[in-house]
Amino acid sequence: MAKPNTVIVNRKQRGNLLLKSIKNVNWDYGDIEADYMMGEQTCALFLSLKYHNLYPTYIYERLKSLGKAYKLQVLLVLVDVVDPNAPLKEMANVAILSECTLICVWSYEEAGRVIETYKMFEHKSPQIIMEKQLANANGTEGNYKCAIEALSSVKSISKTDAISLISTFECMQKIVKSTPEQLALCTGLGPQKVGVLYLIKYSFLLIHLQAERLYQLFRRPFKRD
């Protein structure tokens, strides 16, 4: 069973460098089938591509053992090989067939932020941010209004805070790339709000980076032997 405000970790993950990067939420070992349990219905399996090259059947066995135990099952892949094209395409196919959400990261720090973000959003609908992005892309809302509503949908961030952020940084891109010290310069943002916002803005950055990386990967033609 999930513990409030605590990520449950499979004991087999002991020694994984990812654990050192989970700093903003509590975690504890537990008897679970998944590697990480971020909520009652949310879990993650972690896979290093370097490990996958050595043990290619491992992830298939883990997914078979996990079954459909959780509503949201994340396949968290660490890209730590020189040429990730072939294994990433394989993982994309695996995720589709197993109905998992594939998230690629390029460092243990990124992986830790993913686990933290899922835990922090445990009781929030993913539609909150997605609807704002789609509305903006379709031109049904102005950039300014869309940004204010997206930012103020985060717990503890008011519309006044959102307006202060936008006035200071002028665009979402600058907010995403800002440091905690820069965020603290905004009127009304104390240490707690800065901490929450820093984690939330990371999820925006992760989405953009991953989209760009996967686009670069899948736009390349297959190599012919």
Q: Residue 139, Cβ neighbours under 10 Å: how many?
A: 8
- 107 and 179, same domain (yes or no): no
Q: Which pLDDT does position 6 carry in this prediction?
A: 92
Residue 195 CB-density burial (10 A; 0-12 exposed, 13-18 middle, 19+ buried)? middle
Distance from CA of residue 164 to its chain's centroid?
Answer: 26
Q: What is the CATH number of the domain that holds 182?
A: 1.10.150.20
- 83 and 50, same domain (yes or no): yes
Does pLDDT of 125 surpass 60?
A: no
Q: Is residue 220 part of a domain?
A: no
Structurally, the chain folds into a number of domains equal to 2
Residue 45: strand pairing partners: 75
Q: Give the pTM.
A: 0.60
Length of the chain: 225
pLDDT in tens, 181-190: 888 888 777 7
Q: Which pLDDT does position 159 carry in this prediction?
A: 78
Tell me the average pLDDT of the chain.
78
- 13 and 115, same domain (yes or no): yes
Q: What range defines the domain where residue 163 resides?
A: 127-207
- 46 and 150, same domain (yes or no): no
- 65 and 145, same domain (yes or no): no
Q: Are strands 72-78 and 42-48 parallel, antiparallel or unpaired?
A: parallel
Domain end call among 79, 102, 120: 120
- 60 and 136, same domain (yes or no): no
- 193 and 90, same domain (yes or no): no
- 142 and 101, same domain (yes or no): no
- 57 and 100, same domain (yes or no): yes
- 19 and 111, same domain (yes or no): yes
Q: Is residue 132 part of a domain?
A: yes
What is the pLDDT averaged over residues 77-82? 92
Q: Is residue 80 part of a domain?
A: yes
Q: Which pLDDT does position 208 carry in this prediction?
A: 47
- 97 and 190, same domain (yes or no): no
- 40 and 115, same domain (yes or no): yes
Q: Is residue 28 part of a domain?
A: yes
pLDDT in tens, 11-68: 999 999 999 999 888 999 999 999 999 999 999 999 999 999 999 999 999 999 999 9
Please give the Cα distance from 32 to 180 (Å, whole number): 35
Q: Is residue 35 part of a domain?
A: yes
Does pLDDT of 106 surpass 50?
A: yes
